[in-house]
């Protein structure tokens, strides 16, 4: 196993990026380029205790413009690590998350936990602790064509995807092989199906204005990393005006991204999905 346990500056693979290397190939990536090639060669020949290796990137005439430092941990897996590796594979297969701990003694893994990346090194001893798996969940409320397109785009990113709709036997939900979970629910209690917190991202895109409003009113006041509403500017304006007239505080609507997505002149479900995904990525990377 090769982990990026720390980084600074402009580098191709940030902390937590990882790969598994064998004599016949590798899976994953630690950023590509010269660093990855050197680390793969080093890892294939590595035997013995885990070690820390530092790679300094400098701009060169060879095409790289990176300028920063990556610290790598190289760990030769042994039968003693089998239980931890099995638990990691099982957690990833369930689209969940856990915490890995790397030290000179090997690999430990605690499924169901989450912690930010941290790395410390002193007097020849070192420790890396960080999350593995899908920490962020995207709730798509409404399982139509845009939800199908958005699921496909977001499946390439580190998000657990949950699609919620109140319609039975919806063809676009049946066709959605990218979502990790799909549920038919009543929008009357939508809030009980959507987890709160700074790892929860929510996009409302039901099949009608009345349902959009019902869902939005059911989620207002809850804490999310992102709450977006799909629709035209005119639709949003009219909906907000009706909600405010019925007693919804105007301040409660200020944190809603509406219309959802960045402005790219999108029209098709695929284009709308790209605009939403881009906005979510931009917000996530600023946090």
pLDDT of residue 61 exceeding 60, the answer is: no
What would the DSSP string read from start to end of 185-201?
--GGGGGGGS--EEEEE
End-to-end CA distance of the chain: 29
**What is this structure's pTM?**
0.78
What would the DSSP string read from start to end of 71-112?
EEEE----GGGHHHHHHHHHHHHTT-EEEEEEETTEEEEEET
Instruction: Determine contact, residues 220/248, Cβ cutoff 8 Å.
Output: yes
- For residue range 199-238, what is the model confidence (pLDDT) as tens digits? 999 999 999 999 999 999 999 999 999 999 999 999 999 9
Q: What's the pLDDT band for 62 if we cut at 50, 70, 90? A: very low
**What is the SS3 assignment for 174?**
helix
CA distance 158 to 165: 23
pLDDT of residue 67 exceeding 90, the answer is: no
- The Cα diameter of the chain in Å comes to 70
Percent of the chain residues past pLDDT 90, beyond the cut: 67
Domains in the chain, CATH or no CATH each: 2-133 (no CATH), 136-286 (3.40.50.720)
**Of 189, 272, 270, 185, whose CA–CA distance to 228 is shortest?**
272
**What is the SS3 assignment for 130?**
strand
């Amino acid at each position: 196993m090769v982990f990026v346990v720390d980084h600074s500056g402009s580098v191709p693979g940030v902390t937590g990026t990882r790969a598994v290397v064998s004599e016949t190939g590798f899976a994953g990536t630690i950023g590509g380029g010269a660093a990855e090639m050197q680390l793969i060669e080093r890892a294939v020949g590595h035997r013995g205790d885990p070690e820390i290796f530092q790679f300094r990137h400098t701009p060169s005439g060879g095409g790289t413009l990176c300028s920063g430092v990556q610290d790598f941990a190289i760990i030769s897996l042994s039968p003693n690590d089998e239980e931890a590796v099995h638990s990691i594979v099982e957690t990833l297969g369930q689209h969940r998350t856990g915490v890995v701990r790397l030290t000179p003694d090997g690999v430990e893994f605690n499924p169901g936990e989450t912690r930010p990346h941290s790395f410390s090194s002193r007097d020849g001893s070192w420790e890396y602790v960080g999350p593995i798996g899908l920490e962020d969940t995207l709730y798509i409320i409404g399982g139509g064509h845009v939800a199908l397109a958005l699921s496909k785009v977001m499946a390439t990113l580190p998000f657990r995807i949950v699609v919620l709709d109140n319609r039975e036997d919806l063809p676009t939900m049946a066709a959605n092989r990218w979502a990790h979970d799909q549920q038919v629910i009543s929008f009357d209690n939508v809030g009980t199906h959507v987890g709160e917190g700074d790892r929860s991202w929510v996009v409302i895109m039901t099949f009608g204005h009345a349902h959009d409003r019902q869902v939005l009113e059911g989620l207002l006041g809850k804490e999310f990393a992102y709450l977006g509403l799909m629709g035209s500017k005119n639709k949003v304006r009219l909906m907000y005006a009706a909600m405010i007239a019925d007693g919804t505080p105007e301040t409660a609507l200020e944190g809603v991204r509406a219309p959802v997505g960045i402005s790219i002149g999108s029209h098709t479900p695929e284009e709308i999905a790209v605009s939403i995904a881009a906005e979510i990525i931009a917000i996530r990377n600023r946090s």
